[in-house]
Structure 1
Amino acid sequence: MYTLPLSAFLELVELSAHEDMMKAKCLTVFDESMGRAMFISHQWLANRHPDPNGEQLQVLQEALRNLIAGVAQVSQPVQSELFHGRMPCPTASELKSTPLYVWYDFLCCPQDASERASRHRQRAIGSIPSYVAKCKYFVVLCPALAHADHRVTLSYETWAGRGWCRAEKMAVDLAARNDSCAIIIESQTHAKLHFQLLRSPPAMGTFSVESDRTRIGQMLVHMVWNKLLYYREAGDMHNYRLLLNEQKSRWFQGLSMDPIDGLVEGFVTDADPFDQPGEFELARFLHQNGFRSPLERDSAGWSPICFAVVKGSANLVQSLLARRADPNDAITKAKKELAMPKRFSLLSLAVVYHNQDVLMTLLSARAYVHARDARQATAIMWAAVANDASGIRCLCQARADPSDSCNPGISTLQAACSFASLDSMAELRSQAPSLSLRFCLHYALMFQGGFSEPISFLIQARADVNERFEAEGKLWWLIMKLESIRHKFNPSRLTLLSHHHAGATPLMFSILSGCFGVVPLLLAAGARLDVRNSRKQTASDLALAVRAPSALLQQLQQAPSTFEDPGSPAPEDTFFI
């Protein structure tokens, strides 16, 4: 694995091809005993060169300098901190504590058109999972920049839709280590931890070359196999079981790949696979998952039927129900890394993994559609978050409530908007046309729904682009109040947004949350610049305060502004520190 020392990378004026870097003897074969490596995942800004004008390079260099100097910090996404509390982020002292080496495709992989270079390039591409596994840091470089050959602006939204980028991120999740750190860099001063749910199978992304989809499938099989071995050797049976069963629903979705059957040897059963296929399948499932009984529960609070639901096997679920498994079973402990709270139901598992046959089996067994987890969310809420429109339809037919809400006061539609779940948004509007759009733009921009498609959907549905936010309900008000107090001595993205939330418009939320890419959409839809929040700040004031990219500041300066008296803040939102 060829890399470039960070000190040398920061001195680059332009990107030179791998062959030129080799001739200049600039590259170093990385070994983990030398320090830490950083894998740069990005989209090319031109067909024949990754960065013809050095725009991405400049952003990355300045961002790394700022992070190492402590001028900028890696922040935690709002939704992650809100639901899971503070998590450790890389600090300046950590980044300076050991030598850093950079892996960047154009510099570190062969680029020449010769047959020999092509062979080495394909070998290097096939080795990407092992390269990622060697890297402590995985950096998504995605500033909003125009592609030189196509009329499109590349950003995190386009990065997240690309199959190869998804595969690189999946290599982080499947690496045989547990200390990797994924960081998104969107500008010289804005970096945050990467946070996502289960929604990005590589094969469902876009590919320039269709045959790459199959190639990625083969790479995934090797990655899953190695991760299963890692969990077995570490004695982590719960995560082994989870990975074993979520292969088809999560990792291999969109691929005609057979999942790995398991790594547990010594399977013996009296059940005949031809005369008793259901009994045989259940016996093998229990054996490969290390369970002795259909009603057992592991140390993480999951029973065999939980894993069968994840696996997506309606036959297995039916067999377990026949053995007295409970259709209203739920996990008894929170699964933090998957954002699953305590008492997360089987119905919720089914919709999160888009397993419709299992969902129908559970509903036929009278699973309770109104069961609530520790966040007071029902299955239809999780179907909305997971963008499972079919699941929403099935649950509504079973009399689930599309207008339901959960803590701290988020409606089902607002939850769908929060996670850019476009299919769910459309289905909910179809099931209940009278659902309110109140604050849907704000929730989309507060969490991770700040992409062009969901924002355009809401604008076309006539959501108010100048609506002023109010913390609805006592719990929301209390959270915002406490985080606003915290902002004075321990700031974060969540505390910043809480400090300025009252009376803020969607445009202000996009700036506070770092969703800079949708600012032009909001401005084109009539977002006003003269409105002030309850702290008397305009969108331009906030953009300066968060050190928004210069291009955004210029957009705000050039946009027309019309005076509007914002009036008095709502009574529920008038108490501030």
Structure 2
Amino acid sequence: MGSALSGLCSEVETNPVNLAPVHECQFPLHVMKVSDFLEMEGVPEAHAVLKQRSLLHEWHAGMFVIFVSHQWLSSSHPDPQGRQVAVLRDALRGMISGSVDVAVDFISRTHDKRSMSQRTRQEIAKGYVFFDWFAIPQITARTEGINEETTRSDAALAVGSIPAYVEVSNLFIALVPEQLHKDTGLLCNYASWLCRGWCRAELWCHLLSNKPDTSVVVVYSPAEAEYMFAMDWQQNLISEGDFTVESDRSAVVKLGDMAVMSKIQHLSDHGPLSHFRFYLALRPRLLGRERRDRTLEEFLLHFRFQSLQEAAEDESSMNGTMSAVMSGDVKMLQLLAANRADVNFKLHGLGELGYFDTQTVLMAAAKSRQEPEMLSALIQLKADVETRSRSNIVCAYLVRSPGHVKVLADAKADLEASWPLNGPAALASTETVEAMVKFRCDPNFDYETFGVRYGPLHSMTLFGRSNKHAVTTARLLLAHRADVNAQAKPQGAFEQKCRDSQREVAAKGFEACPMQTRFEASAPGITPLSLAALMGHEGLVKVYLEFGAEMIPNGRGDLPEDLAKRNGFTHLLPLLATFAT
């Protein structure tokens, strides 16, 4: 084993996938050929069985490895009915053939047109899969002739090596189809996966590595996969994750610390300076530590500004104002503003980090979950609460806490229109949405008055698969008489896009089109229930049905069960059929 370990770790150092590995490799990485995996059926077999069948291969430099992160569906077996791996097989086949279009998430698509390349699809076809049940010796899967003490020791070493396995992987897949946990009966999906401490650690080790490509593919169904929205990982800290074994928390948090510090060091050495400052500013929050104010000299040295004047007048993407705001330093912000720093600075060049061009510093403060005092300080320094980005959103759309809502209400921001409620409904907590409702934010909407394309129930259903508060927020909105049967009415440029997508779907077929095209073609006349079916969100389907949702067809004539079936969410069909009239 010693030679295997040293061989693996020496190859990691020269593997071009990761220029500067951080985590220690203690046990050889075992992977399976994608071609072999695609020929398998049923419940996945354990490491020892696959090894006896010669289906596992030790990693070596030059392999294209797909690291699959997922949530176990029972305490003793990751996938006792084989449903997760069935989705993975179909999704991989679709990626290879091109029938599954992998593009950026809905929120990012106006800023980022990236999609999976043909070369990546070819690499997947020739590649290897890491799946923990295959790769790690399992004491729970007993095999005749296998020494249990050795297995237990090897398993511990392999688990401790997972961060190193992530580092040498070329593609990271979050496998998150909605399934019931066998023991708890709870739904496992993207939101619950994001809550798991170990899943967060795997994710961070990938995203904060020094690989050329750190994108993450989220697989929802056999027919739908997309690249992860940057804010999804930034707002799910390892230190706040859920751990089955609580004693794992401190050890796993240390892995996150190593990943963050390594990222900052790499950016310090190689740039870009904007990203170095960004991660440096967010470091205390990412690591779950208390932030502290800095003297002027400390601030300038820390963020690499030559002088106060440079920090105040700099117009780069992470200038002095942004560095102060993102690090939560109100006093430094005030000093910079006193030296003519622009508190209405519009962002640019940070789109890949989730902060899009033309959004304001005030918006960045809100979406990065700064304390209410930071928003209040910006407003006192004359930051405009009603400035709109090119997506036509205002700061109220991006609030993340009840404290944010109060600051904007005190500043006389327009909270009564329904459009700002769409953002918090999708991405913030139920308490935040409740605060907006208390300030007379209407959970229904008037198409003719506001020209709104869809309301908060629609927005939450479309954008909220990462939000663990989605079901409770839906109940809150419905309790405040949100119309469960409201039908979306696209207007203006969006209406034309919907017509174009309908023509594309008619020509190619629904399943052959990208997810955004499917949504746009389905959007005219779509209800929250139909949208929940399209997005595969069982919890929201149940809530909408409980509150009297009807089986109303959209403008194309699609019923909820049609949309669920066509997007690969067949687990919803029995539920929808039960309530069909």
Short-chain TM bin? 0.7 to 0.9
Structure 2 match to 1:88: 115
Q: Residue 331 of structure 2 aligns to which amino acid in structure 1?
A: N
Q: Residue 294 of structure 1 aligns to which amino acid in structure 2?
A: L
SS in 2 for 1:39: strand
Question: TM-score, normalising length from structure 1?
Answer: 0.82
Q: Residue 298 of structure 2 aligns to which amino acid in structure 1?
A: R
Judge conservation of contact 1:217–1:257 (CA < 8 Å) in 2: no
SS in 2 for 1:191: strand
Structure 1 match to 2:33: 5
Residues 138, 396 of structure 1: alpha-carbon distance in 2 compared, 3 angstrom cutoff = same
CA-to-partner distance for each residue in 1:170-221, whole Å, 9 max, x for gaps? 2222011131332222222332222242422222232222233322221112
Q: Residue 47 of structure 2 aligns to which amino acid in structure 1?
A: H
In 1, Cα distance between equivalents of 2:122 and 2:301: 45
CA-to-partner distance for each residue in 1:361-390, whole Å, 9 max, x for gaps? 33443433333333343322221xxx2221
Pairs within 5 Å for 1:437-452: 439-448=455-464, 451-452=470-471
Judge conservation of contact 2:359–2:389 (CA < 8 Å) in 1: yes
Which residue among 207, 210, 213 is the counterpart of 2:249? 213
Pairs within 5 Å for 1:176-575: 176-197=210-231, 198-249=234-285, 251-252=286-287, 255-256=288-289, 281-296=295-310, 300-326=316-342, 328-356=343-371, 357-383=373-399, 387-403=400-416, 411-419=419-427, 421-432=429-440, 434=442, 436=444, 439-448=455-464, 451-472=470-491, 474-484=492-502, 491-515=513-537, 518-529=540-551, 531-544=552-565, 546-561=566-581
Deviation at 1:307, TM superposition (A): 0.8
CA-to-partner distance for each residue in 1:376-410, whole Å, 9 max, x for gaps? 43322221xxx2221121221222221357xxxxx
Instruction: Determine what percentage of the aligned residue pairs are the same residue.
Output: 26
Deviation at 1:310, TM superposition (A): 0.4
Deviation at 1:292, TM superposition (A): 1.2
Q: Residue 16 of structure 1 aligns to which amino acid in structure 2?
A: E
Judge conservation of contact 1:354–1:388 (CA < 8 Å) in 2: yes
Which residue among 15, 21, 26 is the counterpart of 2:55? 26
Judge conservation of contact 1:282–1:316 (CA < 8 Å) in 2: yes
Deviation at 1:470, TM superposition (A): 0.9
In 2, Cα distance between equivalents of 1:37 and 1:4: 9
Judge conservation of contact 2:101–2:515 (CA < 8 Å) in 1: no
Which residue among 68, 73, 89 is the counterpart of 1:61? 89
Deviation at 1:347, TM superposition (A): 2.1
SS in 2 for 1:307: helix
Judge conservation of contact 2:31–2:131 (CA < 8 Å) in 1: yes
In 1, Cα distance between equivalents of 2:121 and 2:150: 40
Judge conservation of contact 1:75–1:89 (CA < 8 Å) in 2: yes
In 1, Cα distance between equivalents of 2:120 and 2:414: 50
In 2, Cα distance between equivalents of 1:291 and 1:302: 11
Q: Residue 59 of structure 1 aligns to which amino acid in structure 2?
A: V
Judge conservation of contact 1:381–1:404 (CA < 8 Å) in 2: no
| Structure 2: stretches of 5+ with no match in the other structure | 1-28, 141-147, 447-454
Structure 1 match to 2:10: none
In 2, Cα distance between equivalents of 1:124 and 1:181: 24
Task: Name the structure with the higher helix share.
Answer: 2
Residues 466, 44 of structure 1: alpha-carbon distance in 2 compared, 3 angstrom cutoff = same
Structure 2 match to 1:15: 44
In 2, Cα distance between equivalents of 1:129 and 1:258: 27
In 2, Cα distance between equivalents of 1:246 and 1:120: 36
Q: Kindly indicate whether residue 82 of structure 2 is the aligned counterpart of residue 46 of structure 1.
A: no
Judge conservation of contact 2:274–2:317 (CA < 8 Å) in 1: no
Deviation at 1:306, TM superposition (A): 0.8
SS in 1 for 2:483: coil
Residues 422, 313 of structure 1: alpha-carbon distance in 2 compared, 3 angstrom cutoff = same
Q: Residue 477 of structure 1 aligns to which amino acid in structure 2?
A: E
Judge conservation of contact 1:459–1:525 (CA < 8 Å) in 2: yes
In 2, Cα distance between equivalents of 1:27 and 1:539: 42
Residues 485, 10 of structure 1: alpha-carbon distance in 2 compared, 3 angstrom cutoff = closer
Q: Residue 541 of structure 1 aligns to which amino acid in structure 2?
A: D
Judge conservation of contact 2:35–2:125 (CA < 8 Å) in 1: no
In 1, Cα distance between equivalents of 2:74 and 2:193: 14
Deviation at 1:166, TM superposition (A): 2.1
Judge conservation of contact 1:69–1:92 (CA < 8 Å) in 2: no
Judge conservation of contact 2:101–2:115 (CA < 8 Å) in 1: no
Judge conservation of contact 1:44–1:50 (CA < 8 Å) in 2: yes
Deviation at 1:485, TM superposition (A): 5.2
Deviation at 1:415, TM superposition (A): 1.6
In 1, Cα distance between equivalents of 2:74 and 2:124: 36
Residues 420, 528 of structure 1: alpha-carbon distance in 2 compared, 3 angstrom cutoff = farther
CA-to-partner distance for each residue in 1:243-274, whole Å, 9 max, x for gaps? 1111123x22xx34789xxxxxxxxxxxxxxx
CA RMSD of aligned residues (A): 3.0
In 2, Cα distance between equivalents of 1:500 and 1:493: 11
In 2, Cα distance between equivalents of 1:511 and 1:403: 30
CA-to-partner distance for each residue in 1:432-488, whole Å, 9 max, x for gaps? 25553562222222323584333333333332222211125x344344345545655
Judge conservation of contact 1:3–1:102 (CA < 8 Å) in 2: yes
In 1, Cα distance between equivalents of 2:32 and 2:188: 25
CA-to-partner distance for each residue in 1:73-98, whole Å, 9 max, x for gaps? 335433332x2253222559724576
In 1, Cα distance between equivalents of 2:347 and 2:549: 45
| Structure 1: stretches of 5+ with no match in the other structure | 260-276, 406-410, 562-577
In 1, Cα distance between equivalents of 2:158 and 2:333: 42
Q: Residue 17 of structure 1 aligns to which amino acid in structure 2?
A: A
Structure 2 match to 1:564: none
Which residue among 126, 131, 137 is the counterpart of 1:104? 131
SS in 2 for 1:226: helix
Shifted more, 356-365 versus 133-142: the winner is 356-365
CA-to-partner distance for each residue in 1:487-520, whole Å, 9 max, x for gaps? 5579422222222322222222223344455323
Residues 87, 300 of structure 1: alpha-carbon distance in 2 compared, 3 angstrom cutoff = farther
Judge conservation of contact 2:68–2:131 (CA < 8 Å) in 1: yes
Structure 1 match to 2:17: none
Residues 180, 353 of structure 1: alpha-carbon distance in 2 compared, 3 angstrom cutoff = closer
Shifted more, 6-15 versus 162-171: the winner is 6-15
SS in 2 for 1:10: helix
Deviation at 1:118, TM superposition (A): 4.5
